[in-house]
Structure 1
């Protein structure tokens, strides 16, 4: 399962749980969701903006998005925590990416992603952000 597919499955489950009233938002959930959505938006901008950046900056922004999710996760419990944890887990491949060449060949297993992989990861973050924004307004 690729990153975007994992995020779509996660978002679909969240939407079902909210619709079926299995997941009832608290005001604290809404606040964390709104703040996290804003943080993700600050990390990953519009496609035109991201694609104009050097890959080292794109990777830094993706890692920042994973960190934003992890920080938010540390402040919640229950369904929002489970959602944030699953979202961060789906994005973990970016933690094994590298943007710099490895002149001596030793990279701790880090790999160079393709431009398409950057686009997919950035779009996954945007999808998480829009879902969190929806949660915040639910």
Structure 2
């Protein structure tokens, strides 16, 4: 997850630098709002890790929703970037933090602590990239 987001951000940085993607004022506004929304979902790694798994998962799902909302408001390269960023975060939709208590889970799985950390790092990297896009 983290590697896919990192590669995606690297590609975005290259196409912006090479002027293949010329950011519009609207792109910057949406990127800034998405960055703010993502920032609101994550706290520092030192604060995030001690949280209960159910709270960490809620934050990750909120981050995923923030990307989806931003995606709904744009077209063109920013939409393509956000859509590509949305995809590697989708496993959080299939994670569960609560025990199954011998009932159906509808395919939900309990992630490992490392998977939580990786997803949170990916969200933070995406948030930083959106800050950069909004100020470029």
TM-score, normalised by the number of residues in structure 2: 0.98
- 2:118 paired residue number: 120
Q: Give 1:80 shift.
A: 0.4
The aligned counterpart of 1:14 is 12
User: How far is the alpha carbon of 1:52 from its aligned partner?
Assistant: 2.0
User: Structure 2: any 5+ residue segments left out of the alignment?
Assistant: none
Number of residue pairs aligned between Structure 1 and Structure 2: 136
Deviation at 1:105, TM superposition (A): 4.0
Ranges in structure 1 where 5+ consecutive residues have no aligned partner: none
Q: Give distance in 2, aligned partners of 1:54 and 1:124.
A: 19
Task: Point out 4+ residue stretches in structure 1 off by more than 4 angstroms.
Answer: none
Counterpart of 1:102 in structure 2 is: 100
Q: Give CA deviations for 1:5-41 in whole Å, capped at 9, x if unaligned.
A: 1111101110110011011111110011011001101
CA root-mean-square deviation: 0.7
Write the distance in 1 (CA, Å) between the matches of 2:121 and 2:10.
Answer: 16
